[in-house]
Homo-oligomer: A and B are copies of this chain.
Amino acid sequence: MAYHASNSPADDTRERLLHAAGHEFARVGFAAASVRSICEAADANVSAVKYHYGSKESLYLAVWAAAAEQMVSAEPMPRLEQFEDPKDALRAFVAWFMRLVLTESKIHPWAGRLLAHETVSPTPGALDMFVKHCAGPVTQEISRIVKAIVRRPMKAKTHDDLVFAVVALCVNPKHSCEILTKLGHPPPDSRAGINRMARVMAEFAISGLTGFTGEEGD
């Protein structure tokens, strides 16, 4: 029962916990993160997790909910209908997507790495939440854009492959961040750098889609 307009000290602790947890879960994943280190970072007692969120897992899901909320509210997803040329739609979409995935701002600092960890070590609730609210809508929109660009009729499986190829181009820099860095090609982190890379990926995808002739062999 927090009737105060300003934050009560309890709300403060709750929020500090959420922030520290987001940081830690994003850094090392759910299993490797420890409640103790989160509480230490949040300057809170260990039992505060139990009190405010119930359990480590509930805290994790709260972090996911916050991250998903931030992702969709930060910048609206471009839609095919907003553009005359579907190629422009793809350009805008790729730029939006890569900003979403790569930007490490105050707005959505964790989503990218949370997802990367979840991809490799799924947690029952979190991945379902992500697929339903984020991955689903994103791939659906890319699917429509790809269809509008390619135009030629195409097997469903091939179409899906191309859709996920576009997704791959956008998420790979984040996904393979460590390897790319070790290979001397770290992903961009400035907005300008991200937009530059997005332009490259978009043009590569556009000419890849318009020139695609890969179904003879089937």
Task: Tell whether, in the assembled complex, residue B208 and residue A211 are in contact, meaning their CB atoms are under 8 Å apart.
Answer: yes
Cα(A119)–Cα(B176), bound, Å = 6
Task: Tell whether, in the assembled complex, residue A207 and residue B197 are in contact, meaning their CB atoms are under 8 Å apart.
Answer: no
Cα(A169)–Cα(B53), bound, Å = 40
Interface residue A104 (Cβ < 8 Å from any Cβ of B): no
Pick out which of these stretches binds chain B: A2-10, A16-24, A73-81, A160-168.
A160-168
Task: Tell whether, in the assembled complex, residue A185 and residue B202 are in contact, meaning their CB atoms are under 8 Å apart.
Answer: no
Residues in B whose Cβ lies below 8 Å from that of A43: none
Task: Tell whether, in the assembled complex, residue A200 and residue B29 are in contact, meaning their CB atoms are under 8 Å apart.
Answer: no
Cα(A190)–Cα(B203), bound, Å = 32
Cα(A122)–Cα(B136), bound, Å = 29
Interface of A is mostly: helix
Q: Whose C-beta in chain B lies nearest to the C-beta of A118?
A: B178
Cα(A136)–Cα(B182), bound, Å = 10
Please give the count of copies of this chain that the complex contains: 2
Residues in B whose Cβ lies below 8 Å from that of A161: 197, 200-201
Interface size on A, residues (CB 8 A): 61
Interface residue A179 (Cβ < 8 Å from any Cβ of B): yes
Cα(A170)–Cα(B169), bound, Å = 10
Can you name 10 extra interface pairs (CB under 8 A) apart from A127-B178, A161-B197, A207-B213? A32-B32, A119-B177, A119-B178, A157-B196, A165-B200, A168-B168, A168-B176, A171-B172, A172-B172, A196-B217
Q: Which A residues form the contact surface with B (CB < 8 A)?
A: 28-29, 31-32, 113, 116-122, 127-128, 130-131, 135-136, 139, 157-158, 160-162, 164-165, 167-169, 171-173, 175-180, 182-183, 185, 196-197, 199-205, 207-215, 217-218
